[in-house]
Amino acid sequence: MTATVVWTEVPVTDLSRAETFYTTVFGWKMQAETTGPEPMLNFAADTGAIGGHLYVGKPGAGVGPTVHLALPDTVEAGMARCVAAGGALVSEVIAIPPGRFAYATDPDGNSIGLFEPRRG
């Protein structure tokens, strides 16, 4: 069986602030989900698939896993948007065969990777 990540959950203290951060940095349209016991915001893909969501919870503040998320443009542009939206940079740009990325934290301290896939 192939190992396939199908879902990720990111705990945040303020859904509205987190929605602003993630839509600003990654250019996403978040999809509100209110059918469960607690409201959440889904990461909606162009294909209609859901890759995860934001929910009100206790963030890891730098001690949880790092979720690497694809940017719509360059890692440098994503880094600038991250800081402007209240996040913090943790590393310089790192080049790897599939692309380039930088470590950062969202306003709640969740560790994220700002990933620019290799083009062409």
pLDDT at 46: 62
**What are the angstrom distances between the C-alpha of 77 and each of 2, 34, 39, 69, 72?**
34, 33, 31, 14, 9
One DSSP character per residue, 47-75 reads TS-EEEEEEES---TTSSPPEEEE-SS-H
pLDDT at 1: 62
CATH classification code of 8-117: 3.10.180.10
Residue corresponding to tokens 């948007």 = 81
The structure's pTM equals 0.87
**What are the angstrom distances between the C-alpha of 48 and each of 8, 27, 35, 112?**
16, 16, 18, 23
Instruction: Give per-10-residue mean pLDDT for the chain (120 aa).
Output: 76 95 92 88 69 83 82 97 98 97 96 92
pLDDT at 12: 95
